[in-house]
């Protein structure tokens, strides 16, 4: 017998994990607007606005710029499945979870993955990547994660894209946790295939993956010898839906209401302006880090490679990592993330992304952490963290 179900009322949480992050009320309101047909002329106008808003966010003129109707992982897959053919060599500069997934994608496309492995918590080493490119001159693609959400590291995407170009390679860039929070300059970097996600710095719910492809990448897809292994993600087919001026052909039914949300989020990004959005993320992280340092905690990543939207904080000796997170969720309705892989149990991952990158979130998180640690006998001066964060915040407002 089936169980009786009732309406679902989600608890009201503050989301400061590795994603999803807090959704802006304007985005939630947009999603609640009446659904229309996905081939309705009004929806087609909305699609054009979204593509234009994405070009602004990605800082590109690429005509092949659109949202994949699926989460960031699908954007990743769209890049690999279209650009990598059986036998192709792909260098992956790997420094966390998402680089590991890139390798999985290459293998499933029948390509050969050459992995340049880095310790988790470190940025990608340009010299080692250059060495790998020299060693395998027939490499077709260089792939890397700009903002490693698993470790809180930001790598030098501009320099890596330049290396790819110097060695006649295409670049695939994971910008899931950078777009909207950290500068992503697709055209001036010469990046070829870049994907992102809506639930990190764009203040939207999860479920959509903005992507952009350079003309060079689009040309590579058109000239493939093997058909693309995925029907849903085949750019040649998707573009007949998202592309063409007028005359759209049915490919799949876009998640209409989710697109309303993305549209509103992109509008808000334009209103704030990219530069201010990036400054807000970096400034808020500085305030947060001042706070955690004032309570005796340390960030895992050194200041030069720290990713503004996500801070990994080392768990001090004698503190129960999971019990601390549980206390934050239960008592403060506050979600933070756990460490992954080699960092499991050793760090918390604290997101200050999109609508979550606000001072009130910083103060809530510092207060809640301080409480959880003092309950576990940590020697902390109550209030010091908030005072330090506020003092730092005053420096940049
Ligand atoms: C979250 C994330 C993804 C995956 O996005 P989903 O929407 O969860 O599929 C990929 N890469 C990075 C760097 C991420 O942070």
CATH number at residue 36: 3.40.640.10
The answer to the question of residue 20 being in a domain is no
174 within ligand 1 shell (Cβ under 6 A): yes
Residue nearest to atom 6 of ligand 1 (CA): 72
The answer to the question of residue 62 being in a domain is yes
State the Cα–Cα distance between residues 59 and 54, nearest whole angstrom: 8
Identify whether residues 56 and 176 lie together within a single domain. yes
Which of 68, 196, 197 gets mutated to test ligand 1 (max ligand atoms within 8 A of its CB)?
Answer: 197
Boundary-marking domain end, from 238, 270, 302: 270
98 within ligand 1 shell (Cβ under 6 A): yes
The answer to the question of residue 378 being in a domain is yes
Atom of ligand 1 nearest to the CA of 198: 7
Q: Residue 1's pLDDT is what? A: 65
Q: Output the CA 293–ligand 1 centroid distance in Å.
A: 28
- Total domain count, the chain: 2
Identify whether residues 112 and 258 lie together within a single domain. yes
Which of 67, 79, 98, 206 gets mutated to test ligand 1 (max ligand atoms within 8 A of its CB)?
Answer: 98
Token pair of 378 as six digits: 């940590």
The answer to the question of residue 386 being in a domain is yes
Averages of pLDDT over each 10 residues, the chain, 397 residues: 90 98 98 96 95 98 96 98 98 97 98 98 98 98 98 98 98 98 98 98 98 97 95 91 72 96 98 98 98 98 98 97 98 98 97 98 98 97 97 84
State the distance between the two ends of the chain, measured CA to CA, in whole angstroms.
59
Identify whether residues 161 and 66 lie together within a single domain. yes
Distance of CA 248 to the CA centre of its chain: 29
CATH label of the domain that carries residue 311: 3.90.1150.10
Identify whether residues 348 and 251 lie together within a single domain. no
Identify whether residues 301 and 202 lie together within a single domain. no
Identify whether residues 120 and 171 lie together within a single domain. yes
Q: Residue 246's pLDDT is what? A: 54
Identify whether residues 313 and 264 lie together within a single domain. no
What range defines the domain where residue 296 resides? Answer: 274-396
Q: Residue 230's pLDDT is what? A: 97
The answer to the question of residue 19 being in a domain is no
Which of 18, 155, 177, 307 gets mutated to test ligand 1 (max ligand atoms within 8 A of its CB)?
Answer: 177
pTM for the whole structure = 0.97
Identify whether residues 301 and 265 lie together within a single domain. no
Boundary-marking domain end, from 219, 242, 270: 270
The answer to the question of residue 17 being in a domain is no
Q: Residue 2's pLDDT is what? A: 80
Identify whether residues 252 and 381 lie together within a single domain. no
- For 27, 39, 130, 330, the CA distances from 12, given in Å and listed in that order, are 16, 35, 47, 11
**107-127 in b/e burial notation, b at 16+ Cβ within 10 A?**
eebebbbbbbebebbbbbbee
The answer to the question of residue 13 being in a domain is no
Identify whether residues 248 and 316 lie together within a single domain. no
Identify whether residues 97 and 244 lie together within a single domain. yes
Identify whether residues 348 and 254 lie together within a single domain. no
Q: Is 239 helix (H, G, I), strand (E, B) or coil?
A: helix
């Amino acid at each position: 017998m089936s169980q009786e179900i009732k309406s679902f009322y989600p608890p009201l949480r503050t989301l400061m994990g590795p994603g999803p992050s807090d959704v802006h009320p304007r985005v939630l309101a947009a999603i609640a607007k009446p659904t229309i047909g996905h081939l309705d002329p009004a929806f087609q106008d909305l699609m054009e606005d979204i593509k234009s808003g994405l070009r602004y966010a990605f800082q590109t003129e690429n005509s092949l710029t659109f949202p994949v109707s699926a989460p960031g992982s699908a954007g990743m897959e769209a890049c690999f499945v279209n650009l990598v053919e059986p036998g192709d060599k792909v260098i992956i500069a790997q420094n966390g979870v998402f680089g590991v997934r890139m390798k999985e994608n290459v293998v499933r496309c029948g390509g050969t993955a050459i992995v340049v492995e880095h310790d988790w918590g470190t940025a990608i080493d340009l010299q080692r990547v250059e060495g790998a490119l020299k060693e395998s001159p027939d490499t077709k693609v260089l792939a890397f994660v700009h903002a490693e959400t698993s470790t809180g590291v930001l790598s030098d995407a501009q320099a890596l894209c330049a290396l790819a170009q110097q060695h006649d390679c295409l670049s695939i860039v994971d910008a899931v946790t950078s777009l909207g929070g950290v500068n992503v300059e697709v055209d001036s970097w010469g990046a070829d295939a870049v994907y992102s996600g809506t639930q990190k710095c764009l203040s939207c719910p999860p479920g959509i993956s903005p992507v952009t492809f350079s003309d060079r990448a689009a040309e590579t897809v058109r000239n493939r010898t093997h058909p693309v292994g995925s029907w849903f993600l085949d750019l040649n087919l998707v573009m007949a839906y998202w592309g063409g001026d007028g005359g759209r052909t049915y490919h799949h039914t876009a998640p209409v209401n989710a697109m309303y949300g993305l549209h509103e989020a992109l509008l808000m990004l334009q209103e704030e302006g990219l530069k201010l959005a990036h400054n807000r993320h970096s400034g808020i992280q500085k305030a947060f880090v001042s706070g955690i340092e004032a309570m005796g905690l340390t960030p895992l990543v050194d200041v030069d490679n720290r990713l503004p939207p996500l801070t990994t904080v080392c768990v001090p000796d004698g503190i129960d990592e999971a019990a601390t997170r549980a206390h934050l969720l239960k008592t403060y309705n506050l979600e933070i993330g756990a460490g992954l892989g080699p960092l499991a149990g050793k760090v918390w991952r604290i997101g200050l992304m999109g609508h979550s990158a606000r001072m009130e979130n910083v103060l809530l998180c510092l207060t809640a952490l301080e409480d959880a640690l003092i309950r576990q006998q940590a020697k902390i001066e109550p209030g010091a963290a908030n005072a330090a964060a506020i003092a730092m915040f005053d420096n940049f407002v």
